[in-house]
Amino acid sequence: MSATDSLREDHKQIRRLDKIIIKCYTDLYAGKNIPISDLEKITIVIEEFFDSIHYSREEDSYFPCVASYDHLKQEIRALLIEHEFSRRIAVQIKKHVKRWKNGEDAREPVARFLKTYSTYLMDHMKKEENFFDKAEAEIISKEEELEMYEQFKSVMTVSKKMEDMIKEIDYLENQNWAKS
């Protein structure tokens, strides 16, 4: 496996979570209830998987390696801006879930920001996939790919956290509200 393959594998997990997010906001808009604890799990997965694992792999290793060739810098800049946008949406989801947990009716903003996040995810991953294709074809050597992949794997806390996040996605997929 290569670093690019690893990032694409992350995208498979992100697509699984996106299906859950879509089901969640659709049900919320339809007036159905989603347990607050499950909404909190979604925010945790967004925060810990996307930001702490996936984005950090890209921002700390992958993008700098590609940028070192003075190529695709505009694409990298655009993706970094989108990562920041993602973080801001995630903060809003978490804030409104907390409001709801504390007794306020925050169903609408939770649903709205989950929908916004889902829309962002699909667009962003399409751009990243295109970026990965270009980076693989035009820039990154097999040795660099392997070196970055080994770096991804060597951080055991990240590997453990990744396993935990996949278990959280498994849990969410198996909730009654997510299956119907």
> What is the per-residue pLDDT across 106-156, written as a single tens digit (0 to 9) for each?
999 999 999 999 999 999 999 999 999 999 999 999 999 999 988 887 765
pTM for the model: 0.89
CB neighbours of 50 closer than 8 A, spacing ≥ 6? 14, 86, 90
CB neighbours of 169 closer than 8 A, spacing ≥ 6? 13, 16, 17, 20, 45
d(CA 142, CA 126): 23
Q: What is the mean predicted confidence (pLDDT) over 157-166?
A: 81
